[in-house]
Structure 1
Amino acid sequence: MTPSVEPATASGMSAHDFRELYERLRRRAAPSTVDGRCGALRHLTPERVAAAAAEVRIGRTVSLAAPIDTVQGPDDPEPAVHRMTGPSPSDLGSGGLHFATDRFAMNVHGDADSHLDALCHVVFDGELYGGVPASTVTAEGARSLSVDLLANGIVGRGVLLDIPRLRGVPWLEPGDRVTSGDLRAAEAAQGVRVGPGDLLFVRTGHRLRRTELGPWDAATARAGLHPTAVEFLAEREVAALGGDGNNDTAPSAVEDIAFPVHVLAIHALGIHLMDYLQFEDLAPACARAGRWSFLCAVAPLRLSGATGSPVNPIAVL
C-alpha cells in the first residue's frame, strides 16, 4: 500500500484560517447556472454524462446506501418509523382482493441513514449558497435551492477513493481526518484520477466499524475530511461528494464551526453532499474489477421545498 503523504491525523485549523479558505473557495466558485444546473452541477455537462456511460464494463449494479434503521441507537435517537397500514386482520382471513400498505417517516439529516443534503441545507452568515437570503427557508419549506433542483437526478462518473485501504487498516478511527494528501495518494495507489464533473465518494470505513463494533454517538466522534481537503474538490471541479460518515469529522477541526466541510462544500462551492452512505459492497467489487470508477446514478425523492432526501445511489460497473 502507498502510505499517506501527510500524517494520518491532520492538525486543527484556526477560525481565521478557515475564514480565509472559505472566502478563497467562494471567490473561485462564483455562483452560476448553466443549462439549469446550479452550483457544482454545472461541471456535470451532458457530454460528461454521456462519457460516463463508457464506465460500464460488466453491467453489475451496486447500492451505495445503508439499510434504513428503525431501531433506536446511540447514533440514531430518532430512527425512521415504518408502520403497516394494511391489510387488517379481518382482510387477511377473508377471500377476495386486498393490499398490503405502509407508511414511512424519517429524520432526513440524522447520523445513521443515507441521505442527500440540498444546497439550502447550510445557513452561514445569514445566507444560503450564492448569497440567497436565509429567509427563503420557511416553515412551509425552502423557496430556493431545495432538493427540487435534482428532479432529474445526478448521473455521471463516480470515483471511489478508499482511505483505509491506502493506510492498510479496516477503518479510520473516529476523529481521524482525511487530507488532500490522502486523496491524492489514494488516486495514485488505485490508478484513478478524479476529474471535472465527477461524483467523488470517499470511504473512511465508518459503516464497517459500526457493523463490527456496534453503533456509537457519531455526532461527537467520527472520521471525515479535513477542511483543507475541500480545496481538492474545487481544483478537480467535483460535481458531488459522498461519504460513509458525515463527511465532516467530530470533534470539528475548526473551533466554533461544527461542520466546516458542509460550510465549504455546500455553502462556498455549491456541492451537493451525500452523508452516511456505505461502500462495503462497492469497495470489494471495485478491487476485484481493478477499476475504481463507474457510472453512478443518484435519484433523490421529489420533495418540494425539502432540504434533503433519503437516497440510494447506484453504481454500475
Structure 2
Amino acid sequence: MTGGAGAAPTPPPAGTGNGPAVSRREFDALFARVRAWGRWAPADRGAWNRVTPEHVRRSAALVRSGTAVALGRPWNTAAGPDNPTPALHYMSDLGDIEPPEPATHKDFIGVDYHGKAVTHLDALSHAAYRGQLYDGRPARECVDAGGARFGAVPALGPLVTRGVLLDLPAVAGCGWLEPGRAVHAGDIASAERALGVTIGEGDAVLLRSGSVRRRREAGAWDPGTASAGFHVDAVPLLAERGIALLGADGDNDVRPSPVDGLHSPVHALALVAMGVPLLDNLDLEALSVAAAETGRYAFLLVVTPLDIPGGTGSPVNPVAVL
C-alpha cells in the first residue's frame, strides 16, 4: 500500500494494479455464492433486517466520550473532474423586499446525488444485474419514470447500528491508498488484527482509503477512472460476517473494475445479491483521527436517509458517536 502527494493517477489496467482479472463466469459464480434472496421480510429492507432492537442497545453501549463525528462531505456546487453534475444552492429569499418583521432568508438546494461528490446512501433499487433487483425482482417492472416500487429508500428508514472503521492507510502507515489499489479479503483480516476490531452480524463496515485527504493534498481527479476500493474477492468475507451496511470514502468499488464488462461489481454483489445498502463518498478523515486517539475502531453509527417516495437512495450525513 502506498500514499503520498503527486499528480492525478494514471489508472492501472484491469487485472494488474487491482488484482487478478475476474471473468463474468467467475463473477456469476461469486454472485450465486453470496446471494441472499428470499431470506428476509420485508424484502426491500434486505440485510438492514439484521439490525434488531437488541443490536441497537448493544451498539449504544459503545458510546463512552459522547464525541459525535459527522461523516458527510460538504455540499459541492463546483464542477470538477470528480463532480460533473454540481449540486445547486441559491437564495430564494433575502428578506430585502419590504418584509414583515422578522425578515426571513430562504434558500433552494438540488442535487443529482448518485455520483462521486455527494455523500449518499444507495437503496436496493439503485442497481440491477442481469435485469433483476435484489430478491430476483424484475427491474423493469419495479422501477420506472415515477420511481421505484420495490427497494425504495423509505423502506429502509433510519439505521442505528455498530459501525466498524477499516482504516487501511493507518494500518499501512501512509496518507492514503493510491487510486486503483484494491482492498482484498486478506487486507480486511489484517486490518481487523491491527486495529483490534472484528466485524460482526448487523455491523456497518466503513472503508477509509484516504481519498478525501489525497484530494485535499494532491488535487481532484476522475475517480470513475481510478479509485481505491473493494475487490470482489473481499465480498464473501463480508457476507459471511453478516453485515447490514457497507460504506467507503470512495464509491466502494475499486476502479478500474477487475471484472470483464462490469463497471461496478461490488455494487452488484452488495445491492443485488446480498441486499446490503451502500454508503458512497464518505468523509472519514475526522473519524480516523478520533479512532486513533481513542484506540477504538467500533462505534455507534446513525444513518437517517430522507423519506423520498420511490427514491433509489438519499443524500445523507451519517454520524459516528464514540
**TM-score grouping bracket, smaller chain normalisation:** over 0.9
Name the counterpart of 1:310: 315
Name the counterpart of 1:285: 290
Task: Give, as a single letter, the amino acid of the residue that structure 1 aligns with 2:97.
Answer: S
The number of residues matched between the two structures is 307
Name the counterpart of 2:97: 90
Name the counterpart of 1:254: 259
2:40 alignment partner, one of 18, 27, 33:
33
- Quote the Cα distance in structure 2 between the aligned partners of 1:88 and 1:53: 43
Matched, 1:139 2:148: no
Matched, 1:17 2:36: no
User: Does the CA-based 8 Å contact 2:44-2:150 persist in structure 1?
Assistant: no
TM-score scaled by structure 1?
0.93
- Quote the Cα distance in structure 1 between the aligned partners of 2:104 and 2:88: 20
Residue ranges of structure 1 left out of the alignment (5+ in a row): 2-6
Q: Give CA deviations for 1:213-232 in whole Å, capped at 9, x if unaligned.
A: 11111111111100111111
Name the counterpart of 2:6: none
Name the counterpart of 2:126: 121
TM-score scaled by structure 2?
0.92
Name the counterpart of 1:4: none
Give 1:11 deviation, angstroms.
2.1
3-state SS of paired residue (1:40): helix
- Quote the Cα distance in structure 2 between the aligned partners of 1:36 and 1:128: 11
- Quote the Cα distance in structure 1 between the aligned partners of 2:47 and 2:213: 30
Residue ranges of structure 2 left out of the alignment (5+ in a row): 2-15
Give 1:43 deviation, angstroms.
1.7
Give 1:170 deviation, angstroms.
0.8
Q: Give CA deviations for 1:126-169 in whole Å, capped at 9, x if unaligned.
A: 11100111121010110111001122x01011110111112221
3-state SS of paired residue (1:33): coil
Task: Give, as a single letter, the amino acid of the residue that structure 1 aligns with 2:315.
Answer: P
Task: Give, as a single letter, the amino acid of the residue that structure 2 aligns with 1:303.
Answer: I
3-state SS of paired residue (1:155): strand
Matched, 1:150 2:159: no
Equivalences for residues 216-295 of structure 1 within 5 A: 216-295=221-300
How high is the sequence identity, in percent, across the aligned residues?
45
User: Does the CA-based 8 Å contact 2:44-2:151 persist in structure 1?
Assistant: no
Moved over 6 A (4+): none
Task: Give, as a single letter, the amino acid of the residue that structure 2 aligns with 1:70.
Answer: T
Q: Give CA deviations for 1:233-263 in whole Å, capped at 9, x if unaligned.
A: 1010000011000101111111100000000
**Structure 1 residues 266, 139: closer, same or farther in 2, change over 3 A?**
same
1:62 alignment partner, one of 58, 69, 78:
69
- Quote the Cα distance in structure 2 between the aligned partners of 1:169 and 1:258: 28
- Quote the Cα distance in structure 2 between the aligned partners of 1:307 and 1:37: 11
**Structure 1 residues 111, 37: closer, same or farther in 2, change over 3 A?**
closer
3-state SS of paired residue (2:66): coil
- Quote the Cα distance in structure 2 between the aligned partners of 1:72 and 1:274: 22
- Quote the Cα distance in structure 1 between the aligned partners of 2:38 and 2:19: 30
Task: Give, as a single letter, the amino acid of the residue that structure 1 aligns with 2:267.
Answer: H
1:194 alignment partner, one of 195, 199, 204:
199
User: Does the CA-based 8 Å contact 1:31-1:39 persist in structure 2?
Assistant: no
Name the counterpart of 1:48: 55
Give 1:38 deviation, angstroms.
2.5
Matched, 1:185 2:190: yes
Task: Give, as a single letter, the amino acid of the residue that structure 1 aligns with 2:116.
Answer: D
3-state SS of paired residue (1:103): strand
Higher mean C-alpha deviation, range 253-262 or range 82-91: 82-91
Q: Give CA deviations for 1:98-129 in whole Å, capped at 9, x if unaligned.
A: 21111110011011110000000001111110
User: Does the CA-based 8 Å contact 1:10-1:178 persist in structure 2?
Assistant: no
**Structure 1 residues 60, 24: closer, same or farther in 2, change over 3 A?**
same
Name the counterpart of 2:13: none
Give 1:95 deviation, angstroms.
6.7
